[in-house]
Structure 1
């Protein structure tokens, strides 16, 4: 049977329909047990993807601030992000033309997502979706729909800003609507629970960039940065307690309702992303005097907790590679996965075998979703290479008595320092002397290290948008083992 439009339709409607059909076919492809049926659904899925990509590539520069345009851009952001969360909405039941859930695809392009997110944020602000004075002229259902759309754009704006190292488009001082994400979900949860926590976490992510990692923040004295980080950590811990209580309520309901395991996985994924965010906060707080590492104990503890929670999520999910890829796109790629980089640096500093094992387990956890996502394949390659680097470095350090291994260790330290993953006090001192200036104070050096680490972290994640087909760790390992 062939379906076709009998009336004219807008470009936004075309994007929305193809996005939701893609989501439907992706789900059926993942659940199908018959190979022929699975291949048929996969063909439909790819057709919708081509339609969607073509439409998004031809979006006009100037769009009206209609609701359907914001919805289409949101779905486009989710396509470019390759991320989706079951139950997370871009619409309201008040309008039967709009989708009830975002869909996921097997690509992740943060720079494109940022462009579409900025467009959506501008439309929302132009139309006053964030202003009570403007919304009072709409019907209750329309006003609610606009608030939902705004808060969804808000969460993407803040998360992508931190991911790409850019200031968000939406400013807190411009918002006067209630900070409540009024998504009713299945109707059994209050609107002020889990969805509203997404808004609060996004607000914290915005503060983390602006107060700790933005160019202006990194010009501040170290003492000021540490003070801000401690205040942010306190706010994060307070929200963590609230989030745990909300999730426990949801878990209890899910057990009673015998719901799909996918919801459980994505709720736990929220925990992973929160610990990732908290890791970025504690990274700014220096280790105690005399510590063997530059990371404070809290930073290491949170990073290890995030890795452990991730492993629990992977072990829980028996939903197929597509659902696993959705989880990875949302929770490991929306923000820089700081725990991996923190533990990588710690292994380089201390040769910790337990943390090296955690890195190896993380890489292994990506293996099951490699075929469903090009970006996950790239993440796997990148993390595998870094794991191999750490393994070889630990081996080299353990054989320091062998003089032939010393140059390898020196070479590693030089490259890792340039990437921002090794302390660079000596380089900072040398630069100051070359410029005829006095040696930098210890606090200035530590702030520079934070900037280098965040930049290196972000740049490594940025490689996921590049061609990594030439990265094959086993060849690199063979070359060094032959030395």
Structure 2
């Protein structure tokens, strides 16, 4: 640059400093520049004052975003319209399916089913196609369940309750003096409605996980949990008292412990969803025991809040389980804990879904096998084996509860069951081994006596199967009582003995329930006037008495503890003893048995406030008790002595009209007593072909439905006929 140009720039800078930018040094250091050449800052430190050309900042313009808002609102409106159409289509499809089912007649059963399936298939395709082509909704997914009747097998309580309804209806219809009264009609109507509500999976559409909140923007790390001091206090108290639940969790979590896992979840963001679920489940089950906070007033006051947090977190994780699970030990353990939570809240169908998923994961991981050349440590193999046998026990026992065949094949299992080492006091291993045998027996009870295949065998073969299972169960009862006594003698821990008392009481009620269920499949003698054998009635009475004693023993531990006991003892197993004693009360009018069923219904009333499923069962049992009380009063009134006699004569005619598979033929069906035909009331004229000796199979009934202990006479056609005008009494 020439001297003249430099002088010109300097003159201009001095006279008009606003036309010159700040030097590079002042601009970089963010200090004020006097914009002279050189500037004062550069002159003071003796450096060159350099100015680089910088682009001029563009003028800012105001952006109008109202158009963007309008487009966003239009998109939301379109998405809401799609959702509304899908909901309307679902409602219309459900109504159409219900109408199609109602107009289906027995004579055209296959055509009706085919039409219903076709209509449902078309509806599903339309709904799914609309849903798949729609854009993803802004809100999270809703986990809804169908408002249909839950399908359960003949060993379930729903099936036995339906039999109780059929039983009392048949008796009421056989007597004009009792069945014709308006109060009896009203009682039977209420009972039918109660049983229908009990069999329904949901009385209204609700989410499958009612405590699942919307996941915060920060993910599971933002889900609410109790303070870390409360969590560690819970674990510490359980560890100090050698809590039974804590010992079981520790054996499954080894070599890690609950404290380490709790520290990782609370203090680190590197934990997984499975670890988050496991620690919430562990803390939940540890706080279920009221002894944990017996000396901690502040902890006890926060008990319900903690329980709600743990349950909400567990349901949040369960609701977001993917269809394809990561096969790992932690996943199987989380699913097992989810099964325990589902059973504790009386969600048996959710428990079945989780336990089948746990079985598939453990099967894929090879936990059911014992490899010959394995480099895995012995304690690790025993740990995976213990987890597999836990899955085995839960799955086999649930088979009988909901009436489904087992998905576990015993022939594929090569791993050995837990055994007590010689000269060892580990009697709990012997007890676990016996419990696994009992679970296997429970699954075989359903398969051999109450499955669809068992309903097609002759009654003699079915009775033989029941007798073999009964003797096997009797041998188990003798062994388990001996093992429990040895277990009690080998431990001096008060907490363990307290848990053993609970285990003993629950196990005894469970065994008596199985005895009752097996005895129902044993045919009664022809000269008997009762639906059930003496062994069946005796086992049912013992089960009710044992339950009542257990509730009295646990009353000092609190209603929450009693609620958990009822979930695991009465709701976890098919407790059919109540229905057996109810039917015996209707038959004989036994006052003591009436007291038993009334006391049983009252025993679960107070615990119903902690569980909706218990409340649902309480309403069912109370409805049966009301019917039994009113019927007993009417039966003892003057002029009602013929009702029982006429009923048994009708039953006798039904039994003799059933063709036996060994002597089946037309000649056998024509030999029924004429007296039974003459004494059938006119209100039963709609089944006149049955009274004339025609084949009972024409009505869709089979031999096992009416004769197999007269227990599972559960048929939709019977209920439909009884709701017709011709069957009004």
* TM-score, structure 1 normalization: 0.77
Residue in 1 that maps onto 2:210: none
The yes-or-no answer on 1:249 pairing with 2:506 is: no
SS in 2 for 1:117: helix
Equivalent in 74, 77, 81 of residue 336 of structure 2: 74
* Deviation at residue 400 of structure 1 after TM alignment: 5.5
What whole-Å deviation, never above 9, does each CA across 1:93-116 have from its counterpart, x for those lacking one?
xxxxxxxxxxxxxx2111111100
What whole-Å deviation, never above 9, does each CA across 1:4-44 have from its counterpart, x for those lacking one?
34142222111111101112333358844777643312111
Residue in 2 that maps onto 1:363: 601
Equivalent in 34, 47, 53 of residue 309 of structure 2: 47
SS in 2 for 1:336: coil
Equivalent in 451, 455, 458 of residue 218 of structure 1: 455
Residue in 2 that maps onto 1:172: 410
* Deviation at residue 125 of structure 1 after TM alignment: 1.2
* Partners of 1:449 and 1:206 in 2: CA distance: 23
Residue in 1 that maps onto 2:72: none
Q: Which moved more, 1:125-134 or 1:238-247?
A: 125-134
Equivalent in 575, 594, 605 of residue 337 of structure 1: 575
* Partners of 1:274 and 1:126 in 2: CA distance: 33
* Partners of 1:435 and 1:150 in 2: CA distance: 57
* Deviation at residue 164 of structure 1 after TM alignment: 0.9
The yes-or-no answer on 1:289 pairing with 2:546 is: no
Are the structure 2 counterparts of residues 304 and 137 from structure 1 closer, same or farther at C-alpha, using a change threshold of 3 Å?
Answer: farther
* Deviation at residue 163 of structure 1 after TM alignment: 0.9
* Partners of 2:420 and 2:376 in 1: CA distance: 16
* Partners of 2:461 and 2:294 in 1: CA distance: 55
SS in 2 for 1:364: helix
What whole-Å deviation, never above 9, does each CA across 1:316-356 have from its counterpart, x for those lacking one?
11211122122111111112101111111111222111111
SS in 2 for 1:193: helix
The yes-or-no answer on 1:261 pairing with 2:498 is: yes
What whole-Å deviation, never above 9, does each CA across 1:292-332 have from its counterpart, x for those lacking one?
21111111111111111112211211211122122111111
The yes-or-no answer on 1:199 pairing with 2:436 is: yes
SS in 2 for 1:176: coil
* TM-score, structure 2 normalization: 0.52
Are the aligned partners of 2:488 and 2:500 in contact in 1 as well (CA < 8 Å)?
no
What whole-Å deviation, never above 9, does each CA across 1:175-199 have from its counterpart, x for those lacking one?
122233789xxx9533542111110
* Partners of 1:35 and 1:370 in 2: CA distance: 25
Residue in 2 that maps onto 1:388: 626
Higher RCO (CA < 8 A, seq sep 6+): 2
* Deviation at residue 66 of structure 1 after TM alignment: 0.7
Q: How many residues align?
A: 414
* Deviation at residue 447 of structure 1 after TM alignment: 4.1
Residue in 2 that maps onto 1:278: 515
Structure 2: give runs of 5+ residues left out of the alignment. 1-226, 229-262, 651-676, 716-729
* Partners of 1:19 and 1:117 in 2: CA distance: 16
* Partners of 2:489 and 2:714 in 1: CA distance: 41
Residue in 1 that maps onto 2:381: 143
Are the aligned partners of 2:585 and 2:593 in contact in 1 as well (CA < 8 Å)?
yes
* Deviation at residue 137 of structure 1 after TM alignment: 4.3
Equivalent in 111, 119, 132 of residue 349 of structure 2: 111
SS in 1 for 2:427: coil
Are the structure 2 counterparts of residues 385 and 310 from structure 1 closer, same or farther at C-alpha, using a change threshold of 3 Å?
Answer: same
* Partners of 1:455 and 1:69 in 2: CA distance: 42
The yes-or-no answer on 1:61 pairing with 2:61 is: no
Structure 1: give runs of 5+ residues left out of the alignment. 83-106, 414-424, 458-483
The yes-or-no answer on 1:237 pairing with 2:474 is: yes
* Partners of 1:251 and 1:440 in 2: CA distance: 55
CA RMSD of aligned residues (A): 3.5
Are the aligned partners of 1:28 and 1:41 in contact in 2 as well (CA < 8 Å)?
no
Are the aligned partners of 1:221 and 1:444 in contact in 2 as well (CA < 8 Å)?
no
* Partners of 1:361 and 1:205 in 2: CA distance: 27
